[in-house]
Chains A and B, each alone.
Chain A
């Protein structure tokens, strides 16, 4: 069974915000809510990078762990979804999420929060698949149509990959080895050192040690 994941290739992201626009258009996301956004790291400095961030559909999701009304669930495919009928808009999930994925529509004057809204991996919610109620609450259910999330499929440079974790890992691995084979003078993929420690050579597939971009010193979204 597939384990649905997103992967953003920072070497390719050109910060066009096409993924953000595709998401908003596909799911009819209300004004003020961004299920996906592009974050610039080291803005204006050498080694500037941009990555597209949304819910990462964590295997052990902290949002689900802190939810006081237990409105989160994992689908068989590993997509983290929630039931808006249960959500009380407390905002705990927002504080727990390391990616800032949960969003709250703010209507009214005194910061009154609505029910939480987040990326659904274009998998809708617990309403009947493809129903109007599902679309209104959660957006379009592309997964039930055999499609992948609109953001990933729309990405012009294919920086943002979405789908079964094993498949997109293979695609990304092939890219990285091709870059290394071409002798492209680039360091290890952005984030590699953070995830796996200083690069020596991962099974002989990574380019040799090269100075990785400086750690993020802040970002704008």
Chain B
């Protein structure tokens, strides 16, 4: 029965390490073989002039206008 403890530890380590194989599941859009004209990001032109953070703040504020629990309280 002396081998039982090392076996249990080895199994636990092996199971624990399986988590290391977990990959981030963030969508990365591939443009495939798009043949058309290139597009610019929506924050590229006035009024944002390339300020992506400002554009994202504006979007977040705008999105919260759809939450009436926040609008009424």
**Interface set of A (CB-CB < 8 Å, partner B):** 2-3, 59, 64, 69-78, 81-83, 85-86, 123, 125-130, 141, 143-148, 152-153, 155, 158, 161-164, 167-168, 171, 174-175, 178
5 A-B pairs, CB-CB below 8 angstroms?
A2-B59, A59-B27, A167-B64, A171-B66, A174-B67
Contact between chains at A174 and B60 (CB < 8 Å): no
Q: Are B36 and A148 in contact (CB under 8 A)?
A: no
Q: How far apart sit A3 and B45, CA to CA, in the bound complex (Å)?
A: 20
Chain B interface (Cβ within 8 Å of chain A)?
A: 27, 29, 31-45, 47-48, 55-56, 58-60, 62-69
**Among B27, B32, B63, B68: residue with most chain A CB under 10 A:** B63
Q: Which residues of B contact A155 (CB under 8 A)?
A: 66
A144 touches B42 (CB 8 A): yes
**Total A-B pairs in contact (CB under 8 Å)?**
105
Residues in chain A near residue B31, CB distance under 8 A: 73-74
Among A161, A167, A178, chain B packs the most CB atoms within 10 A around the CB of A167
A138 to B63, CA, bound (A): 23
The answer to whether A167 touches B37 (Cβ under 8 A) is: no
Q: Which of A126, A141, A162 contacts B36 (CB 8 A)?
A: A126
Residues of A within 8 A of B48 (CB): 144, 146
* Shortest Cβ gap from B37 to chain A (Å): 4
B66/A75 in contact, CB under 8 A: no
Measured CB to CB, the nearest residue on chain B to A144 is: B42
Contact yes or no, A82 B44, CB < 8 A? no
User: A82 CA to B36 CA in the complex, in Å?
Assistant: 8
Assembly CA distance A108 to B42 (angstroms): 36
Contact A171–B34 (Cβ < 8 Å): no
Query: What are the residues of chain A within 8 A of B32 when measuring CB–CB?
Result: 64, 70, 72-73
Residues of B within 8 A of A85 (CB): 36-37
Q: Whole-angstrom distance from the CB of A113 to the nearest CB of chain B?
A: 19
The answer to whether residues A164 and B59 also contact, given A129-B42, A145-B47, A158-B68 and a CB cut-off of 8 A, is: yes
Residues of B within 8 A of A171 (CB): 63-64, 66-67
Nearest chain A residue, comparing its CB with the CB of B68: A158
Contact B65 A75 (CB under 8 A): no
Known: A73-B31, A163-B66. 5 other contacts (CB 8 A): A75-B41, A161-B66, A167-B63, A168-B63, A171-B67
* Chain B residues with CB below 8 A from A81, complex form: 39
Alpha-carbon gap, A149 to B38, bound state (A): 22
Closest chain-A Cβ to B70's Cβ sits at a distance in Å of 9
Chain B nearest Cβ from A179, distance in angstroms: 12
In the bound complex, CA of A93 to CA of B68 (Å): 37
**Which of chain B's residues have a CB closer than 8 A to the CB of A147?**
62
- Closest Cβ of chain B: how far from A171's Cβ, in Å? 4
Cα(A163)–Cα(B56), bound, Å: 11
